[in-house]
Each structure stands twice: as structure tokens, then as C-alpha cells.
Amino acid sequence: MSSPTISREGLGRPIKGPRALTDDWTRFWHLTYNIARNEFKLKFFGSVLGYLWQVMRPLLLFGVLYVFFVLVAHVGKGGHPGERDYGVQLLSSIVLFTFFGEATAGAVRSVVDRENLVRKIQFPRLVIPLAVVLLALFNLSLNLIVVLIFALASGVHPSLSWLELPLILAVLAVFSTGIAMLLSAWFVNFRDIQPIWEVFSQVLFYASPLIIPVETVRQKLAYGKYHKVVRGGVVHHFFTDVGLFHVLYRIYLLNPLVSIFQQFRHAMINHAAISAGQALGGWVAVAEPLAIVLCVFALGFWVFNRSAPLVAENL
């Protein structure tokens, strides 16, 4: 019964089954774009105030943080030149982190939530987390307009270093995409990825230079635990736990968001704020967070690509 009766020449190669990627990249892009666009439209027209909410969220967070940390706790008022326009710097980091949060937390459930597509139609599975990142990118561009208005109103002057913006955003997008692929693929089999990621991104929120600038962290950590002792009328300054604190600082710097946010502050808002290179201790060291970004991306792709053929039956 199984012997072929008609030549299979001319049929080409057998189909490959469900995959993460495709041979038809135009379709891949159209799909990603249209899914993201539909979601964007839903947000825009879905509620009375429409898109205002999307812009309001980072602004509200900014307002709260600004009142408590700047006006009450006097963070960012140390008198360094790098702290000029601290408000705009804070807002910019919040906006970037909002993008990161939307792209990653939004991706966690994305494949599972689109079960009805995945189980019924063949398309490159990677489209799903990528559309989430693209949607977050749409939101980011709108939020960046607010940042721009804020910056210009605060007296930030446009400069040539603004050309670094695409590069900075590209690194951030690659990092977010890597995590988005990883989380969406893992979530299919491990449903507690969602709470774990919520906690983890909370940690990242505080471990990234949003409220506390890198300068402050460096000052407190890079040289060890600071002691000031008055002995016999003479003030002694000295540091202990130098090794431990240095390790803590290096760990802090491993987070690619530190370099990304800080470079944004440096290039876009205030040249006196230290650059990512300065924070890391030399431009060569920038390779470190970049390598992490690329590794996360590669890992995310590998995991997603491996799970893509089976995702329809594991859902």
C-alpha cells in the first residue's frame, strides 16, 4: 500500500514541519508587523483615553520616584556635574526600562496566549515573541518623544552624540529579544516562569541605573567600604572590604542594562554623566556587557528554535 505509484520528481523537497524561522522573510516581517500593529491599535482605540495611558505610565512612575527620591531623599543632588538634568536622566531610564519590561514580561505568555493560532496555522513561530518586542518598540518611540520634549524644556542641547541613539536602542532591543524568546519558550512547559520573571525584573529595576546613578554606585562600591574615624583630633579616611566591594561592583556592571542606560544618559542628556566605557573602566571592557547581550540572544534563539517544532502539541 505504501509503494509510490507516481514519480515524486518535481515535488522538490519535503516540507519541514513547524519551525521558528522561515524561508520567506517578507512574510515573516509582514506577520510580525501586522500582529504588533493590531495590538497597538487595540491599545490605542481600546480605551477612552487611548494612548495617553501608555505615556502616562512612565510619567506617573517618574513623578513618584522624583518626589520621593529627589525631593525627599535628595538623590541626585550630590553636586556632581554628572547630576545635571537628573530628572530627564531618570525619566529616560524609566522609559527604557518600561520598554524592557513590556518586551520581556509581555513575551512570557505570548506563545501560550496565541494557542489558537499556533495550533491551527503554519507560520514561523518566532513571529510571536518578536511581535511583542516590536509592539514595545512602538510604545518606546512614543515615550521617547515625551523624553525629548522634557529634555528640550529642561535645556538639554541637541548634540552629535545623539547619533548614538539607534545603536543604544539596538543593543537594548537585542537584549530584550533574547530574553523574550527564552521566556516565551520556557513558559510553555514551566508556568512559574511568570512569577519568577516578575521578581527578577523587579531586581533588575533596582540594580539598573534608574534612581541611583552609576557614579554613586561606583563611588560607594568601587573602592571598598568607606570609614571615617576621628582619632586624636585627626580625621582618618580609609576603606575596608575592598575586594568584596569590588566584586559587587563588577557584578553590578555585568547587567547590560547598566551600560545601556548609562550610555543613554551620557550621549543623549548630559556629557558630564560618565559613559558606559568610563563606568566599566575602559572601552575594551564594553565588550563584556555586549558579549552578555549576544550570549543571551543566542541562548534565547537556541531554546526557542529547539522548542518551536513541538510547541503546538505541548500547549
Partner 1 sequence: MPAASSGQQSLAVAVDGATKTFRVPEERTHTLKERALHPMRRIRHHSFKALDDISFEVRRGEFFGIAGRNGSGKSTLLKCMAGIYALDRGRIWVDGRLSTFIELGVGFNHDLAARDNVVLNGIMMGLSPREARARYDAVIDFAELREFEELKLKNYSSGMHVRLAFSVAIQVDADILLVDEVLAVGDAAFAQKCFDVFNRMRDEGRTIVFVTHDMGALNRFCHRALLLERGSMVHIGEPHEVADRYLELNFGRDPLATAAAEERGGGGEARVVEAWIEDEHGERHTSVAQGRRITFKALVRFMVPVDDPAASLYVLNEEHVAIVVATSSRESERSGHFDAGEQALFSFTFDNVLAPGRYSPLVTLAHRGSGLDLMDRFEGGSSFVVTAVAANGGVIDLPVEVGVSRPETPVQPQVRA
Q: If we measure between CA atoms, which residue out of 105, 104, 136 comes closest to residue 35?
A: 136
Q: Look up residue 55 and give its DSSP letter.
A: H
Give the CA angle between residues 9, 11, 15 to the nearest 5°. 135
Per-residue binder mask for partner 1 (CB under 8 A), 166-205, x = binder: -----------------------xxxx---x---------
Closer residue to partner 1 (CB): 118 or 280: 118
Decide: residue 108, CB within 10 A, 0-12 exposed, 13-18 middle, 19+ buried. buried
Q: How far apart are CA 308 and CA 179, in angstroms?
A: 16
Q: Is residue 38 near partner 1 by the rule CB under 8 A?
A: yes
Per-residue binder mask for partner 1 (CB under 8 A), 121-160, x = binder: xxx-------------------------------------
The SS3 of residue 282 is coil
Closer residue to partner 1 (CB): 30 or 77: 30
The distance of closest approach from Cβ of residue 207 to partner 1 in the complex, given in angstroms and rounded to an integer, is: 23
Number of residues located near partner 1, criterion CB under 8 A:
47
The distance of closest approach from Cβ of residue 289 to partner 1 in the complex, given in angstroms and rounded to an integer, is: 28
Closer residue to partner 1 (CB): 11 or 284: 11
Angstrom distances, CA of residue 259 to CA of 133, 194, 254, 266, 310: 20, 26, 9, 10, 37
Of 41-49, 92-100, 200-208, 284-292: span binding partner 1 (CB under 8 A): 41-49
Of 77-85, 162-170, 220-228, 306-314: span binding partner 1 (CB under 8 A): 306-314
Q: How far apart are CA 88 and CA 107, in angstroms?
A: 28
The distance of closest approach from Cβ of residue 154 to partner 1 in the complex, given in angstroms and rounded to an integer, is: 39
- The alpha helices in the chain, defined as continuous H runs, are 25-46, 52-65, 86-108, 110-113, 115-118, 127-153, 165-189, 193-207, 214-221, 242-254, 256-264, 276-280, 287-307, 311-314
Place of cell 503554519: 122
The distance of closest approach from Cβ of residue 114 to partner 1 in the complex, given in angstroms and rounded to an integer, is: 7
Joined grid coordinates for residue 252: 553590578
Closer residue to partner 1 (CB): 131 or 211: 131
The distance of closest approach from Cβ of residue 305 to partner 1 in the complex, given in angstroms and rounded to an integer, is: 13
Residues, the chain? 315
Hey, which residues between 85 and 124 contact partner 1 (CB under 8 A)?
A: 114, 116-123
Per-residue binder mask for partner 1 (CB under 8 A), 45-74, x = binder: -x----------------------------
Q: Which residues bind partner 1 (CB under 8 A)?
A: 1-18, 24, 26-27, 30-31, 34-35, 38, 41-42, 46, 114, 116-123, 189-192, 196, 309-310, 312-313
